[in-house]
Amino acid sequence: MNTDYDVVIVGAGLVGLALAPALARTGLSVALIDRGSLSEDAADAATFDTRVYAISPGSAGFLRAIGAWQALHCERVAPIESMHVQGDGGGSIDFSAYDLGERALAWIVEERELRAALIRTVRRAGIDVVVGATPQALSWSAAAGILKLGDGRAVGARLIVGADGASSWVRQAAGIVAEPKSYGQTAVVANFACQRAHHGRAYQWFRDDGGVLAWLPLPGRRISMVWSAPDTLAQALLAESNEALTSRVADAGGQTLGALECITPAAGFPLRFLRVPTPVALRLALVGDAAHGVHPLAGQGVNLGFGDAQMLAAVLAERGPVADAGAPILLERYARRRAEPVLAMQAVTDGLARLFGPPTPWLKSLRNAGISAVDRLPLLKRALAQPALR
């Protein structure tokens, strides 16, 4: 292993895995460091991963550019061609990929499948990978950031990138203070076989209790369920048998796709909001969940992370005569270009989560009337959809 790089990425989650080959393509020397292992889970055609992601067309384009999208198995990817959103008081809105001039509103990809494709891309790019490495200390000199590992090794880089999740060690080590705020909700996820074909249609229901239930199409007659439920309800859902959970999910969705059959165990993920004062510091940049956290009702968390990776790679590719990948002018440019899209998406997702939270009768009528009004205004609906698509 080399000990001197242009960029060291800490965290081999999806965003870190995507950023590494994107930076390598610009001619920079890159190392990827993670506490865990970098192994591909064995594919099993008979099962689907409980955790899935809605990959936007913009993110798909970025993944295609680094060679990862082509590495996916097409039979494991399902397009969202339309979406029906139902308010908690009769309001509704529908989105169509055809009306928006897109092949799909998003593509549903399993975490296991996407991670395997990105690992193959990293290996093809010849990136130095250090696994089973625990970061111990982070310090800076005038020319580099120095990362000391648990085994005593020290790695230097002109730029250290924190891609190590919402509880980022790198963010804390850099002195960037940001505490995630709980929504008081847990995302309960599971996959189901369904009686009726979904025809590439996703469904989302805002519920009276402030929760959000989403059904996302999987290949064949299968769906992925994401139920952002108040913590008490979420714990009850996680404790139920497969049969009881199936019945409850089918009823909550109005039996829209007929009878359901639970095909994966349910899992829960606490939901938190995170806003950092800055995503950059001296010779340091944050990407993905280390830089921001959003409510999953719009499915944009990982897409924001891929947007970070794409923009950071673009800024460093356009560095011109600035040879130093950690130069302040480049980091400020990255922070400035990411500020608006991140703040806008946080405002929309956090605003919707709070708007549909209170059970106030007059507010319930107003928000449902607003949803239906937007549905009747194609230009406004298109304007709302474009940031999520890109």
Q: Mention every residue, 6+ apart, whose C-beta is less than 8 A from residue 303.
A: 54, 55, 56, 58, 59, 388
Please tell me the distance from the alpha carbon of residue 112 to that of residue 73, in angstroms, as a whole number.
11
Nearest-10 Cα torsion for 388, 216, 264, 109: -50
pLDDT at 385: 73
Axis crossing angle, helix 14-24 with helix 111-124, rounded to the nearest 10: 30
**pLDDT value at residue 179:** 87
CATH number of 64-110+183-271+359-389: 3.30.9.10
pLDDT of residue 358: 64
- Provide the phi-psi class of 321: left if phi over 0, else alpha when psi is between -120 and 50, else beta: alpha
Under 8 Å between Cβ of 326 and 159: yes
Question: What gap in Å lies between CA 193 and CA 195, rounded to an integer?
Answer: 7
Q: Which class is domain 4-43+113-180+273-353?
A: alpha beta
Q: What is the pLDDT along the chain (390 residues), one digit of tens a residue?
A: 567 999 999 999 999 999 999 999 999 999 999 998 887 765 677 788 999 999 999 999 999 999 999 999 999 999 999 999 998 878 888 999 998 899 999 999 999 999 999 999 999 998 999 999 999 999 998 899 999 999 899 999 999 999 999 999 999 999 999 988 999 999 999 999 999 999 999 999 999 888 899 999 999 999 999 999 999 999 999 999 999 999 999 999 999 999 999 999 999 999 999 999 999 999 999 999 999 999 887 678 899 999 999 999 999 999 989 999 999 999 999 999 999 999 988 988 888 777 777 667 767 777 778 778 777 777 767 777 777 777
| 225 and 242 Cβ atoms separated by less than 8 Å | no
Do the domains spanning 4-43+113-180+273-353 and 64-110+183-271+359-389 agree at the CATH topology level?
no
The domain ranges of the chain are: 4-43+113-180+273-353, 64-110+183-271+359-389
pLDDT of residue 375: 74
- Measured CA to CA, the distance from residue 66 to residue 293 in angstroms comes to 25
pLDDT of residue 270: 94
Task: Assign 3-class secondary structure to 116-134.
Answer: HHHHHHHHHCCCEEECCCC
